[in-house]
Structure 1
Amino acid sequence: MFHLKYIWLFTFNDLKTIVVPETALGIITAISAPAFGIPVSAALSYSSILRRTPVVTFWVWVNLLPMTIDNQRRPSSILEDGLNKPWRPMPSNRLTPRQAKSLMLALYPIAVLTSFVFGGFRPCISLMLLGCWYNGFGGSDVSWISRNFLNACGFVCYAAGATEFLIIWAIVLTTVQTQDMGDQAADALRGRKTLPLVFGDSRSRTITCFPIALWSSGCPWYWQSAVLAYLPCLTPGAIIMLRTLTKRSAEDDNATWKLWNFWLVILYNLPLVKYMSME
């Protein structure tokens, strides 16, 4: 039971940023298949989608788990987590790095087998390669460009049920640095070159606001949404921009990051809104 708790703690912080949003995207995409140009006859029924939802959630989680363990077992990550996430298994001394590595090596085959049986095999392999670059070769530390690029690619792999990959990739690529605003102290300790540490706090916040404004208005325009559909996109986008510029404590930045994930899920819903308007 304790080991199950440790496993849960590895991914707890990613439930709201990866597991829930990407599961929602998979469901939304399946329902709104015609909006992506998929024939209606090929779309899943609502009951089929409901039955597959636990499988979708498990696929996202089981592919996320070994990657997070690989990331958190490294000395620099343990040092960083000791500062801002001391409850994780490594800094709290629940597991040793060696035990974590053994667990990671045992879980990767499970992720591959799950993907082979239920689908998503290619995204699974892509995630493993991205994880190797991100964790093994320091892709998350050497530059904010490579960090954002890898995060964007990772989001697309987890969101492999969607058709509009490039839009998701571009949104995450240009705005995912929102997560780095509240982690500047820990990132500086680790020697990471994130956007706010490279360009400075104030300049990075201004840079981040421009693409958020662009996507908040551009995505509903792309999906030919009704005027009222712009409001749910623009409102949280505006709040994120306002908070990014005015609320600068680590606690406030972490709350803004949670709001960013909510905003991303709203953008995921635009194809569904279009599909419903087609009926």
Structure 2
Amino acid sequence: MSCPALLTAPPGVIPLFKILGNTVAFADTLYLFTANDFLTFAIPTTLFATFGSLSGPVITTNPSPSLVSILSRIPIALLVVWANLLIFNISNQRSPLVVEDKVNKPHRPLPSGRVTSDGARRILLVTIPLVLLLGWALNCWQETLMLFMMTWMYNAMGGSDDNWVLRNLFVALGYGMYSSAALRVMIGVGEEVTSKGLQWVGGVMVVMFGTQHICDIKDVEGDKVMGRRSAPIVLGNDLVRWSVAPPVVVGSMVCSYFFDLGISSYVIALAIGGLVAFRTLAYRGLRSDKMTWKVWTLWICWLSRCR
């Protein structure tokens, strides 16, 4: 069916419609590469940076942060995280992972036919130097380089396939680098992250290391196709759930204690963490596991606050 706007538009305007349409379609394709990890990585790490920068001298060298200035930098911090996430996701989803995504995530650009593997390679050739330039301009090039290195080790070197503990370690380190990059952007030029701030980043990384394999429970079928030794496949369904639930509860208490945030922080963290632990053990099946993963993401977002 023809678009009425195109039928009535002057001839010179039609190419503009086509250009805009192609641009929107390409932007949508880029987002689809990152859609599954946007909620898990981009949002929590940006919230971490927002709360951290607002805390002022708690974890940064800024004694009196400006709320307006910090809020105005949220889009830039989110762009930095998303751009680095895009590099990882395109690298991760290229062949032979198309086979896995046909089972677990058929909506992604490669299994859905939006982009070919060679097309994804060409996108990487353009975006990698652009993202590195963005990191240099915003003073987070160190994290960008670390993320590039871990992307290569995780994907091209198969670092995520042979050992689920190593897989968790890569994910935790990546989460820390995304958080640190966003925090550098959010605190503004001339300010630094203190040693307490680095400890906070490290604490969240430890929590991720001990609990993030909850994400793999919902992806078991695709991981079996790839021969990947993820935690649910190695440990079994019951043991992997028990390996997640206790660390979630412990992490809820330890992270609240770290900054002595008061009883309300303990109550909320334990309430959300307790729900994650309960759902992990009590509710099973693909639909339930996907919902539990979303609640876990909410829990991570709450733990990312430091005031």
Instruction: Quote the residue 1:221 is aligned against.
Output: 257
Deviations 1:170-224 (A, max 9, x none): 0000000010111111111111111111011101111111111111111112221
Q: Is 2:139 the partner of 1:119?
A: yes
Q: Is 2:263 the partner of 1:243?
A: no
SS at match of 1:263: helix
Instruction: Quote the residue 1:133 is aligned against.
Output: 153
Q: Is 2:83 the partner of 1:62?
A: yes
Aligned residues: 268
Q: Is 2:37 the partner of 1:14?
A: yes
Tell me if the contact between 2:276 and 2:295 (Cα under 8 Å) persists in the aligned partners.
yes
* Separation of aligned partners in 2, 1:5 and 1:59: 18
Instruction: Quote the residue 2:10 is aligned against.
Output: none
Q: Counterpart of 2:135 in structure 1: which amino acid?
A: S
Deviations 1:154-180 (A, max 9, x none): 000000025322101100000000101
SS at match of 2:107: coil
* Separation of aligned partners in 2, 1:85 and 1:260: 20
Deviations 1:204-246 (A, max 9, x none): 1111111111111111122212122211100011111111011
* Separation of aligned partners in 2, 1:110 and 1:35: 33
Q: Counterpart of 1:158 in structure 2: which amino acid?
A: Y
SS at match of 2:111: coil
Structure 1 unaligned residues grouped into runs of 5+ = 273-279
Q: Counterpart of 2:47 in structure 1: which amino acid?
A: A
* Separation of aligned partners in 2, 1:197 and 1:245: 17
Structure 1 residues 27-38: aligned runs within 5 Å: 27-36=50-59, 38=60
Q: Counterpart of 1:71 in structure 2: which amino acid?
A: N
Paired residue for 1:210, among 246, 256, 262? 246
* Separation of aligned partners in 1, 2:56 and 2:176: 17
* Separation of aligned partners in 2, 1:66 and 1:88: 15
Instruction: Quote the residue 1:275 is aligned against.
Output: none
Paired residue for 1:4, among 12, 27, 44? 27
Cα distance, 1:266 vs. partner? Answer: 0.7
Instruction: Quote the residue 1:73 is aligned against.
Output: 94
Structure 1 residues 87-126: aligned runs within 5 Å: 87-126=107-146
Cα distance, 1:33 vs. partner? Answer: 2.4
SS at match of 1:91: helix
* Separation of aligned partners in 2, 1:201 and 1:128: 33
Paired residue for 2:171, among 139, 143, 151? 151
Cα distance, 1:74 vs. partner? Answer: 2.1
Cα distance, 1:40 vs. partner? Answer: 4.4
Instruction: Quote the residue 2:293 is aligned against.
Output: 257
Instruction: Quote the residue 1:45 is aligned against.
Output: 66
Deviations 1:52-80 (A, max 9, x none): 111101100111111100110121x1111
Deviations 1:128-157 (A, max 9, x none): 000000001001111101100000000000
- Percent of aligned positions that are identical: 30
* Separation of aligned partners in 1, 2:265 and 2:87: 38
Cα distance, 1:94 vs. partner? Answer: 1.2
* Separation of aligned partners in 2, 1:60 and 1:169: 16
* Separation of aligned partners in 2, 1:167 and 1:148: 15
* Separation of aligned partners in 2, 1:182 and 1:12: 16
Q: CA RMSD in A?
A: 1.2
Q: Could you say which structure has the larger radius of gyration?
A: 2
Structure 2 unaligned residues grouped into runs of 5+ = 1-21, 184-196
Q: TM-score, normalised by structure 1?
A: 0.93
Cα distance, 1:30 vs. partner? Answer: 0.4
Structure 1 residues 265-276: aligned runs within 5 Å: 265-269=301-305, 271-272=306-307
Instruction: Quote the residue 1:180 is aligned against.
Output: 216
Q: TM-score, normalised by structure 2?
A: 0.85
Cα distance, 1:44 vs. partner? Answer: 3.2
